[in-house]
Amino acid sequence: MVYESKIPVMMKRVLGLLLVSVLGSSTVLAQSGKWGKNATDSTVCFEKYNTFGALYNSKSYVEAYEPWKAVYETCPQATEVIYKFAPKILEAKINQATDPKAKQELIRLLLATYDRRNELYPGKEAEILAQKADDFWTYYPDSAAKAYDMYKKVFAMDPKALQPSYLNNYFNVVIKLYKDEKLNSFGLVEGFNDVSEAIELQSNDRNKLIAELTEKDTLGTISEREKRNLDANRKLLAQSEKLLGNIEKGIAPLLTCERLTLIYNDSTYALHTTDKSWLYRSVKMLSKKRIAADGSKSDCTDNPMYFKAASALYKLEPSAQAARSMGLLSVKNGLYAEAKKYFEDAIRQDVDPKNRSEDWLILAVIAEKQGQLAEAKRACLESARANPESGEAYLFLASVYGKAAGTCGSNAFEKNAVYWAAINMANRAASVQPDLAARAESLASAFRKNVPDKSIAFQFNYKEGDTYTIGCWINERVVVRF
C-alpha cells in the first residue's frame, strides 16, 4: 500500500522535470533564433515539425502541407529538412489544387523554397538551382526563354549538377526556342554540346566509380551500400547514354555536314584559335559518326576546319579527345604509325570504356592495314573487353580471319579451316549485339561457301562434329561443320 501511494507522486515529479526540460530547451532554442523568436514559437515548431515529418515518412504529402508551412513560416532556419521535404509536399499540394490562383501561389512558394535553401544552407547551389529550373519549366512551359536562362546559369556553375532528366528537359527547351526561331543553328549546336559535355563529365565520374566498385565486387569485398551505389550509377549511366542517343537521332537531320560548315569555318575559327572549349566542340561535332539508312557510317571530317581545329586543340591541350582527333587525321592521310601513337595516347587518358573500345577497334583496323594480323586480333579483343555490349570488334575480327584463309596451315583442309573461326566470330558478334545480326549473317554466309568440303576433310581424317585447333596467330579451336 505504501509503494502504491508513492507512484502518483513520483510520476508528477518526473512529468514536472520533463516539462521544465522541454520549456527550458524551447527557451534556449528560441534565444538562438533558429526555432522561433520565443518559447511559444519553439514549442509550436517542435510539434509541427514532428507532425509533418511523420506524415512525410508515411507519404501523406498533402496532409503534411499545413504543419510544414507553419514551420517554414515560423522558424525557417530550424533545419534543412524543411527544404529537402518541400518539393514533394508542395508538388502534391499543387497537383491537388483546383483553384488557378491558389495553384499559382503554391508554385511560387515552391520556387521560393529553392532560393531560401541556397541562402540559408549554401554549398549545393548548382544542384538546387538545377531542381528549381526544372520545376520552373514543368509549371511554365510557355516561358522557355526564362527556363533556358535558368538552365544556362546552372551549366556555368557546374554541368554535373544536371541529372539526365534535367538535361532532357533542357534540350526540350532548346528545341522549342529553335522552332520558335528564338535560337539559330548556333544555339541548337550549343545546346547539344551543353548536354553531351555534361553527360561526358558525369559519365567519367561514374565510370571511375563503377570500375572501383566492380573490382571490389569481383574480390568479394563490396558492402551492401556500395552494391546499391554500383547499381544506381550503372542505371544513371545507361539513362545518360540513352538520352544522348535519342537527342543525336532527333537532331541528326538538322546538323548535316553542310549546315555545320556554316558554323565551323575560317571566319569563326579566326575568333576562337585559342578557345579550348570551342575547338573541342568543333572537332567533336565534325568527327561525330552519322548513321545512314543502310547502316553505313560517315562523318564531317572532310571539312577543312577539322584539321585546323584538331591541330590547334592538340597544341593547347593534348587531351584524349585531341589525341583521338589527331589520330583520325593521321588515318585519313595514311600515316598509320603516327595514328597508332595518337590512339594509344587517347586510350591511356580516357576513362570512358566505350570510347576506349572504339579506339581499340580503330587500332585493329590500322594493324590489319599494316598486315599485322596478330596485333589486329589483340586490338579486337581489347575493344570487346572494354565494351562487352558491342559486337563490332568480333565482326571485324571475323573479316580479319576470313582474309587469313590460305595463310595458316600446310594443306587444303588446314588452310580453309580458318573460315570456321571466322563464322564463329560473326555469330558471336550477333549474339552480343543483336542489331548486327543481318551483317553478321551476310558475312558468315559468304564464309560457309569456302569451308573444307566433306571429301577433303575425310582425306585428313576429319568428320562432322570433330574439333580442330587452327595454328599460327589465330590459335582457335573450331568444330568441323559442313
For the stretch 417-465, pLDDT in tens is: 999 999 999 999 999 999 999 999 999 999 999 999 999 999 999 999 9
Cα 102 from chain centre:
38
Q: What CA–CA distances, in Å, run from 476 to 166, 376, 418, 421?
A: 48, 15, 9, 7
DSSP, collapsed to helix, strand or coil, labels residue 450 as coil
Residue 469 host element (H or E): strand 467-469
CB 318 within 8 A of CB 276: no
Considering the entire predicted model, what is its pTM? Answer: 0.72
Domain ranges of the chain: 155-256
Mean pLDDT is lowest, of 23-32, 33-42, 345-354, for 23-32
| Predicted pLDDT of residue 185 | 87
Q: Which of 171, 145, 190 is nearest to 240 (CA)?
A: 171
- pLDDT-derived band at 294 (thresholds 50, 70, 90) equals low
C-alpha separations of 172 from 131, 177, 259 in Å? 16, 9, 21
Q: Is the pLDDT of residue 27 over 90?
A: no
The conformation of residue 317, written as its DSSP 8-state character, comes to: -
| Helix axes of 164-179 and 144-157: crossing angle, nearest 10 degrees | 130
**Host H or E run for residue 298:** strand 297-298
State the pLDDT at residue 295.
62
pLDDT of residue 449: 94
pLDDT of residue 245: 86
Confidence of residue 55 (pLDDT cuts 50, 70, 90): very high
- Helix (H), strand (E) at residue 297: strand 297-298
H/E segment holding residue 7: helix 2-32
Torsion sign (Cα): 469, 357, 203, 219: positive
Is the Cβ–Cβ distance between 78 and 71 less than 8 Å?
yes
pLDDT at residue 19 above 60? no
DSSP 409: S
Helix axis angle for 392-403 and 353-369, nearest 10°, is 10
Q: Is the pLDDT of residue 374 over 90?
A: yes
Tens-place pLDDT, residues 91-108: 999 999 999 999 999 999
Beta strands in 114-231 (DSSP E): none
**Could you tell me the three cell numbers for 175?**
528545341
Name the amino acid, one letter, at 459.
Answer: Q
77 phi and psi angles, rounded to 5 deg: -100, 5
Residue 55 to residue 65: CA distance in whole angstroms: 9
Return the amino acid letter for 244. L
C-alpha cell at 368: 590489319
| Residue 268 near residue 303, CB atoms below 8 Å | no
Mean pLDDT of the chain: 89
pLDDT for 40 equals 81
List, for residues 184-236, the tens digit of each pLDDT value: 988 999 999 999 999 999 998 998 899 899 999 989 999 999 999 999 999 99
Q: Is the pLDDT of residue 292 over 90?
A: no
Q: How far apart are CA 136 and CA 139, in angstroms?
A: 5
Q: Is the dihedral of CA 357, 372, 378, 457 positive or negative?
A: positive
Question: For residue 273, what pLDDT band results from cuts at 50, 70 and 90?
Answer: very high
How confident is the model at residue 22, as a pLDDT?
37
Q: Binning pLDDT at 50, 70 and 90, where does residue 41 land?
A: confident
Phi, psi of 468 (to 5 degrees): -145, 140
Q: How far is 415 from 210, CA to CA, in rounded Å?
A: 44
What pLDDT is stored for residue 142 in this prediction?
Answer: 95
Residue 23 pLDDT > 80: no
Quickly state the pLDDT bin for 274 (edges 50, 70, 90). very high
Tens of pLDDT along 228-269? 999 999 999 999 989 988 888 888 777 888 889 988 999 999
Condensed to tens digits (0 to 9), the pLDDT of residues 328-354 reads 999 989 999 999 999 999 999 999 999
Give me the pLDDT at residue 37, please: 74
